[in-house]
């Protein structure tokens, strides 16, 4: 099985071959455009250069990491929990530790306000709230319960949400849901 890094490198090679421009050329083009927001860069690459959404997204991420290395060098997880109660970060660390215990590669992709968790496809997300950690899961075949609630009003990408209020809430039940979502995405 290829690593996440190998998969990303292959994606960049495919973009270069498909669109006939090396990644450094795309970075130079974006630098010259003056655009620095991800969504604006993606829109420009799609409308002005005909890239698919996935290709434009990857090029934008590569360009932004090169154009603002200081911002990407900082731990995005630290930024996500900056100014929050330390207990919320402790819950995050426990959840991530349990997921890493499943083995295999997991890509943790920072988004605005949350961390997306992927294998071949996205399977979960973690999002800090004021007094708890929201864990979104993609398990559409599972019924809801009081704890394993519907994510319909939370985030449409996920079928369920669990509000994790302490490290003790990272129990066998939650880990079981995480494992099933992780396996489904593999």
Give per-residue pLDDT as tens, 106-123.
888 888 889 999 998 999
Cα 67 from Cα 103, distance rounded (Å) = 33
Same domain, yes or no, for 13 and 94?
Answer: no
The domain of 15 spans 4-72
Same domain, yes or no, for 101 and 154?
Answer: yes
Find all residues with CB under 8 Å of 100, minimum gap 6, and list them: 106
Predicted structure pTM score:
0.61
pLDDT for the residue 67: 77
Q: Any idea how long the chain is?
A: 186
Residue 72 has pLDDT above 50, yes or no: no
Cα 142 from Cα 147, distance rounded (Å) = 13
Point out the domain boundary residue: 72, 97, 129.
72
Same domain, yes or no, for 54 and 95?
Answer: no
pLDDT for the residue 69: 52
Q: How many domains does the chain have?
A: 2
Same domain, yes or no, for 85 and 133?
Answer: yes
pLDDT for the residue 77: 82
pLDDT for the residue 2: 62
């Amino acid at each position: 099985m290829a690593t996440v890094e190998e998969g990303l490198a292959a994606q960049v090679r495919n973009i270069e071959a498909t669109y006939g421009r090396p990644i450094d050329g795309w970075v130079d083009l974006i630098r010259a455009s003056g655009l620095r927001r991800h969504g604006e860069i993606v829109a420009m690459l799609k409308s002005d250069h005909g890239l698919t959404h996935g290709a434009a997204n990857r090029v934008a991420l590569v360009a932004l990491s090169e154009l603002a290395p200081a911002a990407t060098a900082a731990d995005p997880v630290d930024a996500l929990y900056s100014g929050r109660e330390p207990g919320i970060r402790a819950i995050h660390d426990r959840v991530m530790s349990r997921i890493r215990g499943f083995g295999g590669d997991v890509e943790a992709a920072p988004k605005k306000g949350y961390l997306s968790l992927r294998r071949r496809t996205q399977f979960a997300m973690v999002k800090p709230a004021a007094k708890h950690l929201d864990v979104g899961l993609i398990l559409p075949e599972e019924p809801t319960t009081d704890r394993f609630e519907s994510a319909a009003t939370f985030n449409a990408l996920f079928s369920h949400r669990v509000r994790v209020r302490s490290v003790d809430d990272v129990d066998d039940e939650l880990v079981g849901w995480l494992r099933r979502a992780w396996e489904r995405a593999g």
